[in-house]
Amino acid sequence: MGGTTRTKAGRIVASLVVLFVLAPVAWSAAFAPVNGSLRHAHDSIVRVMAIYPVRAPQEGAPQAKQRAHVASGVVMDDSGHVLTTASGLAGCIEIRVRTFDGRETTADLQGLDPATDLALLRIAPGAAPGMARAPSASGQVGAHVYAVAEWFGREVRDEPGRLTWRYDEPLRSLLQMTTPVHPGNSGGAVVDEQGRLVGVLIGNLADVHATDGLADNGNARGSAFAVPVDDLVPLMNDLARYGGVPRGFLGVSIQQGLVSDPEHPATPAVLGVTITDVVPNGPAWKAGIRSGDLVVAVDGQQVNSPDELVGRIMALRPGTATDLLWIRSDKEHRARVALTATPDSVLASRLEAAGAAARAHAQQRTEAEQH
């Protein structure tokens, strides 16, 4: 009996030895290409430091500099274009970038876009390798991804996660990850298992004092959101050419259009977009559009929702003439409308509403998964 027990115990120990010796080998072999790809992705991540002036201690003394904000950045190509978060860059007197090999250089601000919270910088060509880009299909909900970014303003790390949601609205598209946001992550990369760029993380820059200590003590917060890769190239082109993203403006307030159905009077049919207010002397006003009109088409294409109309208009450049079709008192009206530029106040209002909707949706998803 004792010999049999010892023999069984010996076989169990031998099996465990085989398991613990061979399993790490198999694990490493399976994930070696991924880890290697992620190392290449690390090389395309830079630290972005926005430097702000501080009040001189005495009148006439030279102005001191303080390193006030730090974030991540993604090198998009070998020409030195870098995408980073726009939050906190306004008003800075200098932007410095530190590459993967520890070199630090000054960056030129090419442009920024408040809607996506992204800014385009330019450093010396070849200072760091451009990151490979994933096809759009890599950003599908459910995909396994990594957040590759500066952590706490000190080093580049990667954290695994999963894409849980894609939110498309007129101003931007957003990807949500299961990964929380850490100080300094904003402006970093979301990459697939091959280390290819899926999106750029957005959010506020982490506050950093002159000592490089983090104001919020490095606490993770919220969920990570990213602008998907398919939006990045046109965004870069606009920022490089215009210094921003020109968006068309019609000058109306709108709501979902509803048309009464004689056969179902209790459930009106959804059709077009109803004008609730018109900016005096704005593009729509000058074209003859008034409150109560029902816009049903833009450039010959049917419009079915407020978001669709806003998306169509904002996708056009200021100065573009677009054909509108609307209905008033059962009669069709047409006009060619010359769009102007979207005012900053309107853009800020829409951003606030879109951000609130995104956060609310993310919270609902989190609560649903917990239950």
Residue 63: predicted pLDDT: 60
Distance CA 153, CA 364 (A): 31
Tens digit of each residue's pLDDT (9 = 90 or more) over 248-293: 999 999 999 998 877 777 888 888 999 999 999 999 999 999 999 9
Q: What is the mean pLDDT of the chain?
A: 79
Residue 208: predicted pLDDT: 37
Beta strands in 103-154 (DSSP E): 104-106, 108-113, 118-122, 144-151
The encoded tokens of residue 322 equal 């677009």
CATH 2.40.10.120-classified regions of the chain: 43-54+62-242
At 241 the three-state DSSP class reads helix
Mean pLDDT of 32-37: 52
Q: What is the chain's percent helix, strand, coil content, to nearest 5?
A: 25, 40, 35
Mean pLDDT of 298-308: 93
Tens digit of each residue's pLDDT (9 = 90 or more) over 188-228: 999 999 999 999 998 643 333 333 333 334 444 556 889 99
Helix (H) or strand (E) holding 237: helix 229-242
Name the amino acid, one letter, at 349: S
Distance CA 1, CA 334 (A): 97
Residue keyed to tokens 């201690």: 57
In the chain the first and final C-alpha atoms are separated, in Å, by: 51
Q: Look at 237-251, 286-300, 345-359 and tell me which has the smallest mean pLDDT.
A: 345-359
Confidence of residue 323 (pLDDT cuts 50, 70, 90): very high
Tens digit of each residue's pLDDT (9 = 90 or more) over 99-134: 999 999 999 999 999 888 899 999 999 999 999 999
Cα torsion 143, 144, 150, 154 to 10°: value is 170
Distance CA 259, CA 238 (A): 39
Residue 370: predicted pLDDT: 58
CB-neighbour burial class of residue 307 (10 A; exposed 0-12, middle 13-18, buried 19+): middle
Tell me the pTM: 0.75
Tens digit of each residue's pLDDT (9 = 90 or more) over 47-102: 999 988 776 566 666 666 565 678 999 999 999 999 999 987 877 889 999 999 99
CATH 2.30.42.10-classified regions of the chain: 248-341
Instruction: Give the β-pairing of 64-75 and 197-202.
Output: unpaired
Q: How many CA atoms lie within 13 A of 98 on its CB side?
A: 14
Mean pLDDT of 157-185: 84
Residue keyed to tokens 């190239």: 233
**Domain 43-54+62-242 architecture:** Beta Barrel (2.40)
C-beta of residue 136 within 8 angstroms of C-beta of residue 196: no
Beta strands in 124-207 (DSSP E): 144-151, 155-169, 172-177, 189-191, 197-202, 206-207
Sequence-ordered alpha helix ranges (H) in the chain: 2-43, 229-242, 283-287, 306-314, 344-370
Tens digit of each residue's pLDDT (9 = 90 or more) over 126-166: 999 999 999 876 678 888 999 999 876 678 888 898 998 88
At 70 the three-state DSSP class reads strand
Residue 64: predicted pLDDT: 62
C-beta of residue 96 within 8 angstroms of C-beta of residue 159: no
For residues 77 and 28, the model is more confident at 77
Residue 265: predicted pLDDT: 78
User: What is the distance, to the nearest Å, from the Cα of residue 366 to the centroid of all Cα atoms in its chain?
Assistant: 20
* Domain at 248-341, CATH from 1.10.1660.10, 1.10.760.10, 2.30.42.10, 1.10.260.40: 2.30.42.10
Residue 94: predicted pLDDT: 92
Q: Look at 39-53, 255-269, 286-300, 357-371 and tell me which has the smallest mean pLDDT.
A: 357-371
Residue 183: predicted pLDDT: 77
Burial 25-45 (b: 16+ CB within 10 A, else e): eeeeeeeeebeebbeebbbbb
Residue keyed to tokens 């932007």: 95
Distances (CA, A) of 127 to 46, 66, 75, 77, 200: 10, 25, 9, 10, 20
The encoded tokens of residue 77 equal 């190509």
Residue 210: predicted pLDDT: 32
Indicate whether 332 pLDDT > 70.
Answer: yes
